[in-house]
Structure formats: C-alpha cells, structure tokens
Amino acid sequence: MEKRAHLPNVGKALRMEKRHLQVLLDALRGAGYTVIGPRVRDGAIVYEEVRSLADLPIGWTDEQEKGHYRLKGRGDEAFFAFTTGPNSWKQFLHPPILSLSRARRTENGLQWELPNDPPPRYAFLGVRACDLHAIFVLDRVFTGGQYVEGYYEARRKATFLIAVQCTVAGGTCFCASMGTGPKAPPGADLVFTELADIFVVEIGTDQGAALMAQVPCQPASEVDLASVEGRLEETARSMRRQLDITGLPDLLKRNLEHPRWDEVAQRCLTCGNCTMVCPTCFCFTVEDKTDLAGTEAERVRYWDSCFTTAFTYTAGRAIRQSAKARYRQWLTHKLATWWDQFGMSGCVGCGRCITWCPVGIDLTEEVWAIRQTDRAQREGS
Ligand code: SF4
Ligand code: SF4
C-alpha cells in the first residue's frame, strides 16, 4: 500500500507519479467538478471534458507558425508537451452563445423566463501561464469595474484552476517578452510542471491542498525544484518571437497614421479569426429572436468581433468601414487603449492570433515595423 503525504500546506511543492493524475481526476469528479482539459479533436488539441488519462494528448505535440498548425507524434509519453490550441478557457467562462431571457405568450399574458441554473462547476486542467493571465484579464473586464457581469462571475467563482507550466515553447508564443510566462503567476489552485517521470505540483490554495491530500505524493526535493526552474528557463530561452513592450501604448498612439496600417490592410481578410481565438477578446452582441407565430421570443448573447462591419453600425452606417480601420482598432485596443480602460495589457503573448490568421499576419511583426520607422524618425528629428 502506498504512503500518503500529510495534508500539504499552501505554498508547498509535491512530487507526484504521472499515473496518479488519474487519482486527482477522480477526486475532482468526486467533488462535483467537470474536468475540462486538452484532447485531440479534428487534428488539433482542444479543451473538452476529460475523464481519464487516455483522453489526454499523451505523446503529441503541436507545430505552429504564422497561419500554420499541425499535430505531430513525439515518440514518447509526455503528457503536456504542446502549447495553446485554437480554443481557450474563455469559451467556458464567457460562452460564445448565451440565452439571456425567454418570453412566451400564454392565455395569462407574457411569461418571462430568466436562466437561473446554478453555474457549471469546471476544473480546468492544463491552464498555461499566458492563459492564466488571460483569465485575470477577463476577471478585470467582467468583474473589476462598477458593473459586474453576473454570469461570468458565477462561473468563475465555481472554477478550479490547475495550471501546467510550459516545458516546450510553441512556434508563435511570445509570453516571455510580455512577462506572462512560462512561469505561472499566483492564482491557480494547483501548478503542475512535467518532468521526465513525475509532476512537480505546487499548491496554490486551500482547495488545492484538500484535493492533493487525496493523491499519493511526496514532498518535492531540491533537485526537483531546480529541474522545474531549469525547464522554465529553457522554455523562455527557446521562444523565437518577442514583442518589445517598452513604451508600447505611446508608440502605437502616436503612429495612428503610419503607412504600415495600409500595408496590413492589403492582407487582412477581416475574417475575425484573431478575435475568436484570442483568450481575452470579450466583445459580444445581443439579438432578440421571435418565432414566426409571434408566440415566443428569446434574447441571446453572441460573441462579436471588431472585424465585422456590423460591429460599429450606428445611425445608418458602419463607423469602421475599412480593413485598415478595423485592424488598427484591434491592435491598438489590445496593446494600448486596454491600458487606459483596464490598467493592463489586453494581450498575453499566447500567439493564437498568429497561428490562426489564415494569411499569417503576425502582430509582433506589425509592431516591430512601426517601431523601426518611429525610432528612425525620432532619432532623425
Ligand atoms: S488579422 Fe488575420 S485573423 Fe485577424 S481579421 Fe485579419 S485576416 Fe483574419
Ligand atoms: S492578441 Fe494574439 S497573442 Fe495576444 S492574447 Fe490575443 S491571441 Fe494571444
């Protein structure tokens, strides 16, 4: 019979055999959580319900570049040797389609129904450092101001977070230059790092400690902790992209008429993929629908995108009619005016918008191009 560690305290690090991740999955399910984690689906690693270790993309990795994503076998048994995929945790906390209310005409007049189901209890398994930052960005947007978005707040409060620190860098990642990874920030219930044969598990909260008390594990050694630091440094060093964030909001604001916006508009399809895959883009629209008989109506919230013409349709016309205006709005909001609105960056360096842009537009290249001419102009003046 295996020995179980005493109830570990917050802040402690444990070593856990990889097969015992199943014990943790079972404990989470026993505690009433639906575990959402990475799975292979349609040639990509997506987030869906995970019930057993067999569901995880063990032995898979992803190859990512501008407009390019492929899965490859690694020829080993690594559990988490891939990075971010086309979807993110946003879809569970801020669903793409949400019914806000329904009305039905009855003999007794209109009957209104407001959704009052309890929020789903999700345990997110495999939250990367950049995506943990993205959740904190959404927290700020939806719950950090005067008006709190109740649906988001309820889901977020019910969510258990298991971060997994990246031990490989994706081809389009640039979190190291943004200060958003690969080391996970505080805030997760548990933080995993995968080493060759074990997971090192850092305990972030009392709930995390209570769960880990049900899993066979031992205290992590100094060697384990040094290996974690070494793997994170190696991941950061191997990141091929970077975004120089020095004075970035001011740089973009003083270059709103830069010719680069015209160049990128020649390529941009205004498809909105970048906003759909982005873990922090939160814009939505609300539509009222009725049936043909006029007896039922529903108010539904949908994700929207600043790349659609309808997004700025006001008083008979769209305000941002050109691709240039829409791309510039998106990029300057992410990297500049988000600071004015929320006191933080709207970009966490996950690289999804680069990978999933069908024409391979790369925001790090766009900013670099603007910075080069801005610097040359300022040095010449
Ligand atoms: S930047 Fe790329 S993904 Fe975004 S709207 Fe333009 S073409 Fe689509
Ligand atoms: S803007 Fe691009 S790199 Fe930044 S968080 Fe969104 S998808 Fe990730």
What digits encode the pLDDT tens for the residues 142-185? 999 999 999 999 999 999 999 999 999 999 999 999 999 999 99
What does pTM read for this prediction?
A: 0.95
Predicted local confidence at residue 381, as pLDDT: 66
Tens of pLDDT, residues 75-110: 999 999 999 999 999 999 999 999 999 999 999 888
User: What is the Å distance from ligand 2's center to 187 Cα?
Assistant: 20
Would you say the CB of residue 264 lies under 6 angstroms from ligand 1?
A: no
- What separation in Å is there between the alpha carbon of 274 and the centre of ligand 1? 6
Torsion angles phi and psi, residue 294, rounded to 5: 75, 25
pLDDT of residue 294: 86
Region of residue 91 (left: phi > 0; alpha: psi -120 to 50; beta: else):
alpha
The pLDDT confidence band at residue 8, using thresholds 50, 70 and 90, is low
Q: For residue 76, give every residue at least 6 positions away whose Cβ sits within 8 Å of its Cβ, in sequence order, or none.
A: 59
The yes-or-no verdict on residue 128 having pLDDT over 80 is: yes
Residues with CB under 6 A from ligand 2: 277-280, 334, 347-353
Ligand found nearest the CA of 333: 2
* CB 272 less than 6 A from any atom of ligand 1: yes
One-letter amino acid identity for 217?
A: C
**78, two tokens:** 């690594």
Cα 83 from Cα 129, distance rounded (Å): 10
Distant-in-sequence, close-in-space partners of 123: CB < 8 Å, separation ≥ 6: 28, 33, 34, 35, 36, 159, 160, 161, 162
